[in-house]
Structure 1
Amino acid sequence: MEDNDPIERETTSDAGEPSEHRASVENGVLLVVNHSRIQPPFSVVLATLLYCAEFVSASVMCAMYHKSEDTIWMGFTITFVIVPAVLIQMALTFFHRDLGRDRPLVLFLHLLLLGPVIRCLEALVVYYKAGKKEEPYVTISRKIGLKKGQNLPMEWEIGHSERTLAAHRNAFKRTALIQAFLGSTPQLTLQLYATIQEKYVLKTRLTLMVITLISVTYGALVCSVLAIQIRYDEYKVRLRPAAYLCMIAWRGLEIATRITSLVLFSTALTHWVIAVGLLNLLFFFIMPWAEFWARKGSLPENVENNFSKLGTTVVLCMFTLLYACINVFCWSAVQLDLTHRELIEKKQCWGRQAAYYCGRFVENLVLIALWYAFKSDFYEYVCAPLLAVQLLVCYGLAVLFMLLFYQFFHPCKRLFRHNVHDCLHCVCLKGGGGRPRPREPPNSYSTNATMVLVPDEHPPDITSQLGDREMADTLDAA
């Protein structure tokens, strides 16, 4: 895609649809008009449906456990429903800053654990009321940046409706992670364990297991997409359907084999699985803080303006807990940097990713071997060696789909200094001293039409056309 005009350029919206923008200078102010059609909030609706479906199916399962007097399983099922639901209400309230606003009905619905439902309805109302054109404007921060002579990328401004929908999408992406890894993964592990122990499958339990598996896979998918968007924030990325299918296969196989390995190990050595889970959780929880102390860094001050150091520490601990829970079951796709204002390290850590998957493969192998050695008589009716081999093969397939994604379907693969093929070539020729050739610097735009670089050319100096008095008023307002 070639375009020599730094003002008029084809971009890609959050949902992947191209949109056209027109810029003009009127009365010394650069106006950027967005004529794109606002995208429906599909991610908000999907996250809400998964939340409601899991809540309802878990409630029915709790009623069945109560009738059969399985108090222990009923207690764990209620815990894995209520805890993530409460955290989701707190997260939505935090993201939308409702505590300082007069919205008693919304807060009351949050107390009833119906916050995602009312937020989804709000997003749908905003979408259906939104017009096709929005009032153009220029942000104060961009004026200040241009006044200081900074080489800022051209930023297409969006209207109020699009900003509101974007806020809902961002909030529900975070709540999808909470729902998936603080609720759905332990719920799926519990129900699979109960199924093996009772030696028969209930339709209600099977429904709950399917819903939780979909929720976990969707949460892992959101985690991967968020990692790409954060790491390549200078680009508008768009994933093709083949990339989504590859990621679904990668994440689904990775999570399914991990949970199955833990459940099989727990049926043979019930109490030892608690130690395995706690060691995993503590390791991934302490690791970011150990790096933070080793760097002698300071806590970021812009997590929330009204937070004290204690409040910031509590938020960072909750964020680290979520990060640790993700890594217990699958690769989080990001590395935490508690000293950075975005809390995410943007550098691609290939070494850590390779170490994670190698270590996880070895751990799953050890768990399956211990299960095979101490398995109960029930598994005499199951071909245990074949089951163990299938689990290892499925985890290998998950790694294979991951490599295929990074080699062929990653939207920013042209930005990699070395791709998967280069790394494998280097490993194969390691004994002969072969090293991969440095890749040529990528072009400004991908030939795959999956990413668009935000232009970095100097925009027209609109500050020279603004009066000194107008700029002084702008700076005072900032």
Structure 2
Amino acid sequence: MREVTMEEEEREISDIDPQEGSAAGENGVMLVVNHSRILPPFSVVLATVLYCAEFVAAAVLCSRYHNTDDVIWLSFTIAFMLLPALLIQLALTFIHRDLGRDRPLVLFLHLLLLGPPIRCFEALVVYFKAGKKEEPYVTISRKINLKKGQGTPMEWEIGQSERKLATHRNAFKRTAVIQAFLGSAPQLTLQLYATIQEKYVFPARLVLMIITLISITYGALVCSTLAIQIRYDNYKVRLRPFAYLCMIVWRGLEIATRITALVLFSTALTHWMILVGMVNLLFFFFLPWVEFWVRKGSLTDDVEKNFSKLGTTVVLSMFTLLYACINIFCWSAVQLDFTHRELIERKQRWGRLAMYYTGRFVENFILITLWYFFKSDFYEYVCAPLLAVQLLICYSLALLFMLLFYQFGHPCRRLFKYNVHDCLHCVCCRPGRRGASGRRGKLPPSYSTAATMVLMPEEPLELLDPRNSQPLDITSQLGERETAIVEDMMDAA
């Protein structure tokens, strides 16, 4: 066998295309990723833009309230502006583990509430430098492993730049949810209530309301996509434009209708609104803890190794508070399980989804009805019955687009044991169910599963837990994932 120089080896490996240049190694599998095709960090940029835009718009509105001596509106606006900003700084510092690193400038910028912009700048720098300059040891070792067919799939698929970008994306997904439901949702509710009470909307308040609505909708989309990724973490899931369209309309109508119903009810029965809000918050806050107590489980030890039992309980309580705030305004798409390593229950519970939306529709109907009977004189020039009907129709449309998403837009809908079509036709109660299920298994492949699932996790395991960075056997790993697919397809059939 002829000798190959390092220059020839480097040229030969760097010219491999991820689609066409896969070669068989010792285990018959080789995965190569072209570093020039790393996806831009759009989610990081979008979350940063929404954070900065909402903060600036709220600051301008606070200046307006200060000039008009509106102390109440000023106080609540500042509170809903600073609370999520502080929590976002803590979340970014916790996820990136900056407290154990020598980065005084980054920590100082976090104290100035400028954490998201500097993190976004870091992600953009990593993206633009990806593939242009790599550490020699990492490059040479990767090339040797590729030639010999050795190494783990993580080392082949994800480079150092991709791991850093994955960390930034995961961090900003969490901060987008915090911003949406601990800041934007209360802020939008407050400003809409102030608009109705003052019977006037000025440009600064209108701009802030639009930005907060976009932020809440984006946070709800992140919740839905995170739920899918956690449920099907063995696959790399790609959502199609139709799925995004359904989710945007579904979440936008659901959130807008819910907040409008709450605000209208609060203008008619202000003191009773406090009771409604507290009942919702306490119910969803204690629900995961009651389920945890019923199951007699033990708290997971994977939240943070350096935390004590008290510290773990505090972190889980903050996580539960965020979960409760999400469910007040919209469906969270996940259920908490404190015994699981990821704190999320993987099983899709259709019964809980149906109960949530049924109860929420009834609650909105009661709130709108009470507003109609106890409304103030401000609505004399508004057709109140038409407004009430429009709100109920909009919420029904949100449910319709949710059903369309789960039936036609969900990327893994073929893995469901039951889908919307089965529930609507009451497949469990029909005679001849076995024959129907046999015919269902022979359906042609759905467009939603074509080229949407790849047998690789989306993120490296070492990002979730450093203990998982041990070398893996490729054959055994693929065998486990193939077995998981067969089991899921058998459930679907």
In the superposition, the TM-score normalised over structure 2's length comes to 0.82
Aligned ranges 1:18-97 → 2 under 5 Å: 22=22, 25=25, 32-36=31-35, 37-97=37-97
Q: Deviations over 1:258-300 (max 9, x none)?
A: 0000000000001111110111010000000000011111010
Aligned ranges 1:6-405 → 2 under 5 Å: 22=22, 25=25, 32-36=31-35, 37-131=37-131, 135=138, 157-405=157-405
CA RMSD of aligned residues (A): 2.9
From the superposition, tell whether residues 23 and 171 of structure 1 become closer, same or farther in structure 2 (CA, over 3 Å): farther
From the superposition, tell whether residues 285 and 153 of structure 1 become closer, same or farther in structure 2 (CA, over 3 Å): farther
Q: Deviations over 1:83-126 (max 9, x none)?
A: 00000000000000000111000000000000001000000111
Q: Deviations over 1:314-361 (max 9, x none)?
A: 111111111110000000000000111110000000000000000000
Partners of 1:461 and 1:255 in 2: how far apart?
45
- Say whether residues 1:449 and 2:445 are aligned partners: no
SS of residue matched to 1:75: helix
Partners of 2:243 and 2:378 in 1: how far apart?
40
The one-letter code of the counterpart of 2:347 is K
Question: Retained in 2: the 8 A contact 1:65–1:74?
Answer: yes
Shift of 1:200: 1.2
Partners of 2:23 and 2:355 in 1: how far apart?
48
Partners of 2:195 and 2:285 in 1: how far apart?
30
From the superposition, tell whether residues 250 and 445 of structure 1 become closer, same or farther in structure 2 (CA, over 3 Å): closer
Shift of 1:433: 5.8
SS of residue matched to 2:122: helix
The one-letter code of the counterpart of 2:321 is L
The one-letter code of the counterpart of 1:162 is E
Of 334-343 and 152-161, more deviation after overlay is shown by 152-161
Partners of 1:229 and 1:289 in 2: how far apart?
24
Partners of 1:236 and 1:21 in 2: how far apart?
20
The residue number in structure 2 matching 1:472 is none
Q: Deviations over 1:402-457 (max 9, x none)?
A: 00001111000111112211110118x95x768584342898997532222449xx
The one-letter code of the counterpart of 1:248 is I
Question: Retained in 2: the 8 A contact 1:123–1:168?
Answer: yes
SS of residue matched to 1:344: coil
The one-letter code of the counterpart of 1:63 is S
Question: Retained in 2: the 8 A contact 1:445–1:451?
Answer: no
Identity %: 75
Question: Retained in 1: the 8 A contact 2:412–2:449?
Answer: no
Partners of 1:269 and 1:414 in 2: how far apart?
47
Partners of 1:299 and 1:358 in 2: how far apart?
32
Partners of 1:441 and 1:227 in 2: how far apart?
28
Structure 1: give runs of 5+ residues left out of the alignment: 1-17, 139-145, 463-478
Shift of 1:22: 3.5
Question: Retained in 2: the 8 A contact 1:24–1:32?
Answer: no
The one-letter code of the counterpart of 1:108 is F
SS of residue matched to 2:247: helix
SS of residue matched to 1:22: coil
Question: Retained in 2: the 8 A contact 1:35–1:132?
Answer: no
Partners of 1:445 and 1:153 in 2: how far apart?
28
Partners of 1:93 and 1:58 in 2: how far apart?
24
Question: Retained in 2: the 8 A contact 1:261–1:368?
Answer: yes
Shift of 1:20: 6.6
The residue number in structure 2 matching 1:471 is none
Partners of 1:434 and 1:200 in 2: how far apart?
62
Partners of 2:450 and 2:25 in 1: how far apart?
33
Structure 2: give runs of 5+ residues left out of the alignment: 1-17, 143-149, 458-472, 478-493
Of 178-187 and 193-202, more deviation after overlay is shown by 193-202
The residue number in structure 2 matching 1:9 is none
- Say whether residues 1:440 and 2:441 are aligned partners: yes
